[in-house]
A and B are shown apart, each in its own frame.
Chain A
């Protein structure tokens, strides 16, 4: 029954979004955005996730395959060049609600953009924060899009889904901002965004009271059919753990997001559980549901962190590499400082 309702909702959203983009594809190049504001010399080639991609001109019709990709472009001041976005999974932050709400959404909530919808939007650039969206069955293969003359950018954090990226850290995120700023010929905006986020992180760390003995934490992302998924090494959660001098109890697993077991969690007995508050619409997404789950289960209810309510709730989408990730640092600093 629930499934039916979900499907109905998707259909309604689809109808609404179709109505929203009625009138067919707009004239390519109709964007009013001024180009040449910066200093980028076109064409230029970047090595991105092992592929050489050539950018012929500043993109004017962009499709972002997921929400935080759109968020980053809006913060770089080129949100008005986005002609379609997808994989909406969280509440739009107020500061970008205006520009974001103008973007046509090409997929159902929590769904990926399909190849046909992507091509219909006639993009001249496609940007994704998830490698899994660049496949033939989803938005399309990167090589396929390049052959059609559509350059792409895939975050270096997720060249291959779930695979740990050695040395993944915030400077890598800033490099992504700079590279996108270069692609869009707005280099100053990339520098500015990188500097702002680094300043925010520095400020938070300055006020952090580090413990002598590192706290053991579990980054609890999601759970399906009983097994939890937790952040492993090679992603921003690991980098944040290192910055804060806390110990990720799953720093030894093989992927940056790993399916683990409650037995292992119990054996490693975390001092604190960081809960990803997700809003994708999947079971046990919200922090509230996760806490209920932990307290009800005979095994997990006996964990020290659970009996003492040592939970820290963070917006789940921020655990994926994106604009919001930097905000995890001040949030965790505040929560950990309070924790005694």
Chain B
């Protein structure tokens, strides 16, 4: 995911400027450095997180197992593990780490997009109710069997799209809403869809599914297997790459719709596409893990502080940082109180709520 950082400066940011200023150059250098650090951190995180778990399997055995499965058995430092331990690493722990990475990516990028589209730094798919809508869609598809063979992810996508549309309509279409209005509208959308989900759970009345769903709604990655992980990761990756093409539009949105139009951006088309893409990406994440909150808020803000805030670099950096962040949150969730497991969403909320307060304070000052 290497990006050419060169072209980000001097485009929508400060149109008409010729050469780069010294601070811009320094910032560009730091952004390039950050990409390298982020990519390395992602690789290290995937491997390191695979080493730890409730079961005691030696680090060399874990690394060897993974190498063997990716066709690098020749350089594996340890002999093959017994079948069940091999499955423990390759069929359960490793796909779960990858799922955490994919979901973290999806939520962080969705957050960055929502912040630009709503022109509000407090936006996040969870806080704005998109996750909640996706959950409603998933539960409806599964329990009510709407549309017959509609699967959980398709339901989640439809729900995410509907909630996003409701949000934008309530925000008054093209007008720019104040931050507090955006947040309050998000609360409204989120609560409404949570209530719809509860009604569906109660009406369908099956205690078994209700209990399973309650845990899932808190946001958890447990139960990840290759089958689901592959589909989720492909959808999220495709969505995130597609969103990247809208980086100039997202930058332009910062100046308002009129200025964006003046810069030659088809605002309506861009917003509709971004709405669809964000819904797809969020829905894929929610279908796989339930609603994990605050990542979309936390990650882009940290990235903005550290690197060039233009979307050309903000989006891919957020994608990587989101992946790294959720990998470690989930690793903590499944190992800290082993053999007891915490839902990852509980931990992101613990970290996210204070971050929300911080962003709010910065907005006010």
- Which A residues are closer than 8 A to B by beta carbons? 7, 10-11, 14, 17-18, 24-25, 28, 106-108, 111, 113-117, 119-120, 122-123, 132, 135-137, 144, 148-150, 160-163, 255, 257, 259
Do A7 and B85 touch (CB < 8 A)? no
A2 to chain B, nearest CB (A): 15
- Which B residues are closer than 8 A to A by beta carbons? 53-57, 82-85, 87-88, 91-93, 206-208, 211-212, 215, 220, 222-223, 225, 337-341
Instruction: Given A25-B85, A132-B208, A148-B83, decide whether A117 and B92 contact each other with a Cβ distance below 8 A.
Output: no
Do B223 and A137 touch (CB < 8 A)? yes
Closest to B228 in A: A136
Q: Write 28 A-B pairs (CB below 8 A) sorted by A numbering.
A: A11-B340, A14-B337, A17-B339, A24-B56, A25-B82, A106-B339, A107-B339, A107-B340, A108-B339, A108-B340, A114-B341, A116-B92, A116-B93, A117-B54, A119-B87, A120-B54, A120-B57, A120-B85, A132-B211, A135-B223, A136-B225, A137-B215, A137-B222, A137-B223, A148-B83, A150-B84, A162-B208, A257-B207
**Main SS class of interface, A:** loop
Do B88 and A119 touch (CB < 8 A)? yes
Across-interface contacts of A10 in B (CB, < 8 A): 337, 340
Do B212 and A114 touch (CB < 8 A)? no
Taken together as a complex, chains A and B put the C-alpha atoms of A318 and B58 apart, in Å, by 41
Across-interface contacts of B341 in A (CB, < 8 A): 114
Taken together as a complex, chains A and B put the C-alpha atoms of A255 and B54 apart, in Å, by 35
Most chain B beta-carbon contacts within 10 A, residue among A28, A161, A163: A161
A106 to chain B, nearest CB (A): 6
Instruction: Given A119-B92, A136-B225, decide whether A148 and B339 contact each other with a Cβ distance below 8 A.
Output: no
Taken together as a complex, chains A and B put the C-alpha atoms of A160 and B223 apart, in Å, by 19
Across-interface contacts of A149 in B (CB, < 8 A): 83
Across-interface contacts of B206 in A (CB, < 8 A): 162
16 more A-B contacts (CB under 8 A) besides A113-B339, A135-B223?
A10-B337, A11-B340, A14-B339, A17-B339, A24-B56, A25-B82, A107-B340, A111-B340, A115-B88, A115-B223, A116-B88, A119-B87, A136-B225, A137-B220, A137-B223, A144-B225
A-B CB proximity, top 4 nearest: A137-B223, A120-B55, A136-B223, A119-B88
A18 to chain B, nearest CB (A): 8
A15 to chain B, nearest CB (A): 9
Taken together as a complex, chains A and B put the C-alpha atoms of A24 and B55 apart, in Å, by 10
Across-interface contacts of B93 in A (CB, < 8 A): 116
Most chain A beta-carbon contacts within 10 A, residue among B53, B206, B340: B340
Closest to B215 in A: A137
Do B85 and A119 touch (CB < 8 A)? yes
Do B337 and A135 touch (CB < 8 A)? no
A143 to chain B, nearest CB (A): 11
Taken together as a complex, chains A and B put the C-alpha atoms of A212 and B53 apart, in Å, by 61
- Contact residue among A14, A106, A136, A148 (Cβ-Cβ distance under 8 Å from B87): A148
Closest to A111 in B: B340
